């Protein structure tokens, strides 16, 4: 598979020529190397051959749409950060894309400076995860392999959705530390939800239903604050 690592390479998946021209020009001038796919099918073909530092993706694409493409990318074990750029801006649309494996979501129209900031944050986070020496996180009978994105308990694999995996891994990476709901929202969902949303509590319950806490409680609720995993 081709690999360009000297400068940051971005794949833009966008069928609106006006928007793609604006982004290609602006991001190229900002120093990024840009590749355009104007359909989900073209993006799938390009990703089969080349690696990228980040993917900027619209949802409403002709043929293979952004949701289907995200599922395919993650199913193939490609964990390149995906930043969704979409005119769909309801919380349900955002949650669905993030649950399918996207890393962040920016609603159109957006400020170009914010796009640059999101790109930097996502690629920085991704590089830090690759720089970690220990790819194994553990607590009691549960182990997370961050290279394979695999969670096992007593040698049996737990089937987590992408968002459940990100939530559980974030808690594991901060073992023995209380994390507030706001911290969890920011780091797992990467977007600013209304602070009154219960999405964190809902996903904590999803995760708890998939792990066995009969012998040892893994995820602890800290009333009025948030959650933590502790030995």
**Alpha carbon distance 128, 125 (integer Å):** 5
User: So what's the pLDDT on residue 69?
Assistant: 96
Query: How distant, in Å, are the alpha carbons of 10, 19, 138 from that of 145?
Result: 27, 39, 9
For residue 6 the two structure tokens come to 């000297």
Kindly state which CATH superfamily the domain 9-123 is placed in.
Answer: Response regulator (3.40.50.2300)
Q: Report pLDDT for 133.
A: 47
pLDDT of 1 higher than 60? no
Strand order in the sheet with 54-57: 33-37, 9-13, 54-57, 82-86, 104-107
What is the Cα–Cα distance from 153 to 144, expressed in whole angstroms? 9
Q: pLDDT-based confidence at 6, cuts 50/70/90?
A: very low
Q: Where in the chain is the domain with CATH 3.40.50.2300?
A: 9-123
Residue 141 pLDDT greater than 60, yes or no: yes
More confident of the two residues 15 and 193: 15
What distance in Å separates the CA atoms of residue 56 and residue 30, rounded to the nearest whole number? 15
Tens-place pLDDT, residues 34-91: 999 999 999 999 998 888 899 999 999 989 999 999 999 998 888 899 999 998 888 8
What is the C-alpha to C-alpha distance for residues 74 and 76, in angstroms, rounded to an integer? Answer: 5
**Cβ distance 217 to 165 under 8 Å?**
no
In this prediction, residue 192 carries a pLDDT of 58
Averaging pLDDT over each range in 54-58, 145-149, 163-167, 171-175, which range is the top one? Answer: 54-58
DSSP state, residue 125: H
Q: CATH 1.10.10.10 region(s) of the chain?
A: 136-229
What pLDDT does residue 198 have?
A: 86
Query: What average pLDDT does the chain have?
Result: 87
Q: Is the pLDDT of residue 126 over 80?
A: no
What is the per-residue pLDDT across 203-215, written as a single tens digit (0 to 9) for each? 999 999 999 988 8
Query: Which residues share a beta bridge with 11?
Result: 35, 55
Those residues whose C-beta lies under 8 Å from the C-beta of residue 3, and which sit 6 or more positions away, are: 50, 51
Helices 162-173 and 199-210: angle between axes, nearest 10 degrees: 90
pTM of the predicted protein model: 0.63
CATH architecture, domain 136-229: Orthogonal Bundle (1.10)
Q: Is the pLDDT of residue 189 over 90?
A: no
What is the rounded CA–CA span in Å between residue 117 and residue 114? Answer: 5
């Amino acid at each position: 598979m081709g690999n360009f690592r000297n400068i940051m390479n971005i794949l833009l998946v966008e069928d609106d020529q006006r928007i793609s021209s604006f982004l290609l020009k602006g991001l190229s001038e900002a120093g990024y190397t840009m590749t355009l796919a104007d359909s989900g099918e073209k993006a799938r073909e390009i990703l089969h051959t080349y690696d990228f530092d980040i993917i900027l993706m619209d949802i409403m694409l002709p043929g293979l749409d952004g949701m289907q493409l995200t599922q395919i990318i993650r199913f193939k074990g490609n964990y390149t950060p995906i930043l969704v750029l979409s005119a769909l801006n309801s919380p349900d649309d955002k949650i669905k894309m993030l649950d399918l494996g996207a890393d962040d979501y920016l609603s159109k129209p957006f400020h170009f400076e914010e796009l640059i900031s999101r790109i930097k944050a996502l690629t920085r986070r991704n590089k830090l995860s690759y720089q970690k020496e220990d790819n194994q996180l553990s607590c009691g009978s549960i182990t997370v392999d961050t290279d394979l994105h695999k969670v096992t308990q007593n040698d049996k694999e737990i089937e987590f959705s992408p968002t459940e995996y990100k939530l559980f891994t974030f808690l594991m990476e901060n073992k023995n530390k209380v994390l507030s709901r706001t911290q969890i929202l920011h780091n797992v969902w990467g977007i600013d939800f209304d602070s009154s949303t219960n999405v964190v509590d809902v996903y904590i319950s999803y995760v708890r239903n998939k792990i066995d806490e009969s012998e040892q409680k893994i995820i602890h609720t800290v009333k009025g604050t948030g959650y933590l995993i502790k030995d």
